[in-house]
Amino acid sequence: MISIIKHTIILLSLPIFLYAQYSYLQVQHPQETWRSGQGTIEQAVFSIHPKGMCTENELTLTFSARGLNFTNSDSIEVQLNFALPDGAVITDLWLWIDSTTISKALILDRWTASTIYESIVKRRRDPAILYQTSSNYYQLRVYPMAGASTRKVKISYLTTSDWTIKSTVSPLPTHIIRASKNPVPLFTVQFWPDGLWNNPWILELPEFAGKAQRDTAGKEYIEFALSSAAVQSSLSIANQIVLQNGVFVQRYAQGNGGIYQIALIPSKAFHLQSGRKVALLFDFDPTKSTTTSSEVLSAIKSVLRENFTSDDSLNLIFSQLNIRRVSEHWFPGDSAGIQSAFDLAGSRPLSSYSNLPPLLANGIDFIQHHGNEGVIWLVSNTDQLGDYQVANPLLSDLTKLMSDPIPIHVTDFNNTNTRYFYINGQSYYGNQYFYENLARLTKGSNTRISSTLYAAATKTLQWLHGSITTFDLYTTLSGGFCYARLTPGLASLQSVSLDQPIIQIGKFSGSFPIIIEAAGNYRDTLFSRRLTISASDAYEVDSVAMQIWAGQYLKTLALQGTSNDIITQIIDVSLKNRVLSNYTAFLALEPNDSLRMCTTCVSGSPGNTPGAGTTGIKTETRKDSTSESLVRVYPNPFNSQTTLQVRLPKGVTNQEVTLRIYNTLGQLIYSFDVSRLDDRHNEQLTWRGISNNNTIVASGIYFAILSTPKGRYTSKLLMLK
């Protein structure tokens, strides 16, 4: 029996808001902050461009303050807080200035972008800023919007598709559409086929057919026009999977190297699969979840269709006053068998109350009467067994029913009105204590909802075949090597479920074929496999692969702490690859704004506003430059002051040079006295983080530029307060 030290119950009346489902749209007067309210999305278009194992997405939104009593004399700010799926990477922001003028955002360090945005808001100009507030969570702000008018933006982001045995699945951002005060009349989803991924469907609405369309250039796409009622639940776009013996490989070649991407399903790639026999048990309380009873059945049915084959078997058992077993026999796991099982279950098989103990006993009895072959999959959102004084006796009774443990896998989708239990110094949500111990005692698994029921159920299903332990995966090239490997979505490769897709993104140097070596322990049997994929069997992808790798690399860096070195590296990777991080931001400005960056112009060129004191930030490397002639900065990053060590190139005098500090927009910040500089020794100069006006500058990235007749030498500085 499990020993218990202490127990406390806390009741929550509010729902647990899930990142992937939570969005909030607000409009507010920036000077009269009490004048605010929920904003409206007037139009929404979502474009999907498949990129192999990833998708490039563009969400175009038109905002208004309809119904909030603002007038066109009011200049108000739009604030959209939203979440994106795990692994999503934002790559761009576009702001419509008017019907014909669109501003593409700059990507800057977050401190600089925020300072510029706030200064422009005070001047009532046209900026938009987008930044990350926490993991998978973002904020977009747009100013100004006339109170009776609209503003339009487009957010571009990349997502790694979820892979199943039969398809790839990418979530649609319906949670953002639901943030609108007034219903969005139509949510338009556009899918642009690429020759490989051509036949999409809405996973939760398989009968909802898309319509073939052409753009003004004659390019074909498939359009799904979703009503306001359809987007009230989570939806996903699916495509038939493209696998060769359980493996998909693509690459982006650049010179002698590039980026490779691999997706593989262990059961298929390593020939370890066997048919599953699964008794599905349903226990439902409508007050304990934001998911309705019809959505529960739809989600589980979709998961089964996407993952089960004719080798699998299932049965459905429902919690009612008298437990209802749909059949005394197994249904085949093909599409017809799944449909037959749910048809026999009827339209409303879920009761509105829990009867979990008899339900579990019934499931155990069914498995035992069929040769003790199979597993139990419990789908439940109830919380009546969370107290250890209730859970422990039931755990004891259930284990006594099983002479041989039957694996019990749980999908717990309780996410509102959740009770909390404090047991042995640890907090448990709902039935979590009971489920975790039940899974441990039966060698099953417990999955708690973190985004959608479909996602949680998919994760549970991947464990039904068991797992590979002490798993090792290694990639290399026959004519080179692989490095910088990343596995998004997996904390560790030491243990993976047999049907869990493994995604690896990395860099390579050399020539294909690529070699995949794997080894591990499955059901107490060691195995080793070697797969060779030729260049002709690898699909080509464009340069977006670099952004995909950079985005995943940034997420691994963010887990390594907040040291100055890590922050500097994150900012560098983010700016170089135009990928948003938690230390950078996208800032869209008016095309004629005096603060707009000019990356190629120099002081006085037509690209700059006269008198603005701006210069292009451009690093030049000369053949005759040496380490002694470059500007060296230490410490860097710095807090209050830093030292610049400077030595002039040979033959250059201090009358011919300038040494100045610029911000990332090319604005002159500070000019040094260079009278002590020469070409014979290193001179040390101190910058105390001030401007020429003797004001303290904000945190952010700056550039020290030494201009000489022989070239310009640049060092980047990072000021952190």
For residue range 140-186, list pLDDT tens digits in order: 999 999 999 999 999 999 998 888 777 888 999 999 999 999 999 99
Q: How would residue 610 be classed by pLDDT, with cut points 50, 70 and 90?
A: very low
The closest alpha carbon to 616, from 709, 695, 712, belongs to 712
Across residues 294-299, what is the average pLDDT? 92
* pLDDT number for residue 42: 97
612 confidence band (pLDDT: 50, 70, 90): very low
Q: How confident is the model at residue 538 (pLDDT cuts 50, 70, 90)?
A: very high
Domain shared by 394 and 495, yes or no: no
Using CA atoms, how far apart are residues 481 and 621, in angstroms rounded to an integer? 31
Is it the case that residue 205 has pLDDT exceeding 90? no
Summary mean pLDDT of the chain: 86
- Assess whether 304 and 344 both reside in one domain: yes
Looking at per-residue pLDDT, the higher value among 7 and 40 belongs to 40
Is pLDDT above 50 for 520? yes
| Per-residue exposure over 389-421, b if at least 16 CB sit within 10 Å of its own CB, e if not | eebbebbeebeeeeeeebbbbbbbbbbbbbbbb
User: 202 and 331, same structural domain?
Assistant: no
What average pLDDT does the segment 280-303 reach? 93
Confidence of residue 498 (pLDDT cuts 50, 70, 90): confident
Alpha carbon distances (Å) from 597 to 324, 589, 593: 67, 10, 9
Antiparallel, parallel or unpaired: β 220-227 and 668-671: unpaired
> What are the residues facing 503 on neighbouring strands?
263
- The answer to whether residue 22 scores a pLDDT higher than 80 is no
Exposed e or buried b per residue across 594-616, where buried means at least 16 C-beta atoms within 10 angstroms of its C-beta? bbbbbeebeeeeeebeeeeebbb
Higher-pLDDT residue of 18 and 147 is 147
Identify whether 178 is part of a domain. yes
Mean pLDDT to the nearest integer, 517-524 = 89
Residue 123: the pLDDT is 54
What pLDDT is stored for residue 307 in this prediction?
A: 86
**pLDDT the model gives residue 721:** 67
Write the pLDDT tens digit of every residue in 79-95: 999 999 888 999 999 99
Residues 424 and 502 reside in one and the same domain:
no
Is residue 8 a part of any domain in this protein? no
Q: Is the pLDDT of residue 256 over 60?
A: yes
- Rounded Cα distance between 79 and 648, Å, is 49
Radius of gyration of the chain (CA): 29
User: Does residue 40 lie in a domain region?
Assistant: yes
Q: Is residue 3 part of a domain?
A: no
Of the candidates 537, 553, 502, the residue with the CA atom closest to the CA atom of residue 262: 502
Concatenating the DSSP letter of every residue in 535-580 gives: GGGSEE--THHHHHHHHHHHHHHHTT---HHHHHHHHHHHHHHT--
Looking at the fold, whether 359 and 440 belong to one and the same domain comes out as yes
Range of the domain at 200: 24-240
Q: What is the pLDDT of residue 629?
A: 44
pLDDT one-digit tens code per residue, 482-494: 999 998 866 566 7
Taking each helix axis from N to C end, the angle separating 356-368 and 388-401, rounded to the nearest 10 degrees, works out to 20
CB 376 within 8 A of CB 395: no
Q: What is the pLDDT of residue 455?
A: 84
Instruction: Tell me how far apart the alpha carbons of residues 515 and 474 are, in angstroms, rounded to a whole number.
Output: 8
Q: Which pLDDT band holds residue 135 (cuts at 50, 70, 90)?
A: confident
pLDDT for 663 equals: 83
- Pair (528, 439) in one structural domain: no
Does 431 lie in the same domain as 338?
yes
Residues 219 and 253 in one domain: no
Alpha-helical runs (H) found in 347-500: 356-368, 388-401, 432-442, 453-461
Structure tokens at 586: 């996208």
In a domain? residue 604: no
Cα–Cα distance measured from residue 372 to residue 402, given in angstroms and rounded to the nearest whole number = 9
**Same domain (yes/no): 227, 262:** no
Residue of higher predicted confidence among 39 and 452 = 39
Question: Has residue 613 got a pLDDT over 80?
Answer: no
Domain CATH code at residue 155: 2.60.40.1730
- The whole-angstrom separation of Cα 26 and Cα 141 is 10
Out of 493, 512, 536, a domain closes at 536
What is the domain-level CATH number for residue 701?
2.60.40.1930
Distance CA 497, CA 276 (A): 14
Q: Give phi and psi for 676, each to the nearest 5.
A: -95, -5
Residue 608 pLDDT > 50: no
Residue that finishes a domain, picked among 516, 536, 556:
536
Does the pLDDT at position 253 exceed 70?
yes
Instruction: Please tell me whether residues 217 and 290 are part of one structural domain.
Output: no
Which pLDDT score, from 0 to 100, does residue 122 have? 65
Same domain, yes or no: 135 and 227:
yes
Six-digit token string for 413: 């989708």
Q: Is residue 445 part of a domain?
A: yes
- Counted domains in the chain: 4
pLDDT tier, 281 (very low <50, low <70, confident <90, very high otherwise): very high
pLDDT for 600: 37
Lowest mean pLDDT among 121-125, 482-486, 530-534: 121-125
Under 8 Å CB-to-CB from 437, ≥6 apart: which residues? Answer: 2, 391, 395
Residue 321, pLDDT > 80, answer: yes
Q: What is the DSSP string of 296-351?
A: HHHHHHHHHHHH--TT-EEEEEE-SSS-EES-SSPEESSHHHHHHHHHHH-S----
pLDDT value for 320? 94
Q: 122 or 3, which is more confident?
A: 122
591: confidence class by pLDDT, cuts 50, 70, 90: low
Q: What is the pLDDT of residues 210-250, one digit of tens each?
A: 999 999 888 999 999 999 999 988 889 998 877 888 899 99
**593: in domain:** no
Total residues belonging to the chain:
721
pLDDT in tens, 384-441: 999 999 999 999 999 999 988 999 999 999 989 988 899 988 999 999 999 999 999 9
CB 61 within 8 A of CB 173: no
Closest to 163 (Cα-Cα) out of 57, 251, 269: 269
Q: Which of 477, 508, 536 is the last residue of a domain?
A: 536
CATH of the domain at 353: 3.40.50.410
Question: Quick one: pLDDT at residue 624?
Answer: 35
CATH number of the domain that residue 496 is part of: 2.60.40.1230
Q: Is the pLDDT of residue 24 over 70?
A: yes
pLDDT value for 620: 36
223 in the Ramachandran plot: left (φ > 0), alpha (ψ -120 to 50) or beta? Answer: beta
Q: What are the structure tokens assigned to 66, written together?
A: 């309809």
Same domain as 230, residue 374 = no
Cis geometry, peptide bond prior to residue 15 (ω within 30 degrees of 0): no
Q: What is the mean pLDDT of residues 348-352?
A: 94
Q: Per DSSP, what are the bridge partners of residue 139?
A: 81, 131
Query: Stretch 548-554: mean pLDDT, rounded?
Result: 93
Q: Is residue 52 one of the residues assigned to a domain?
A: yes
The yes-or-no verdict on residue 21 having pLDDT over 60 is no
CA torsion angle 569 570 572 575 (round to 10): 180
Q: What pLDDT was estimated at residue 405?
A: 92
C-alpha–C-alpha distance, residues 669 and 691, integer Å: 5
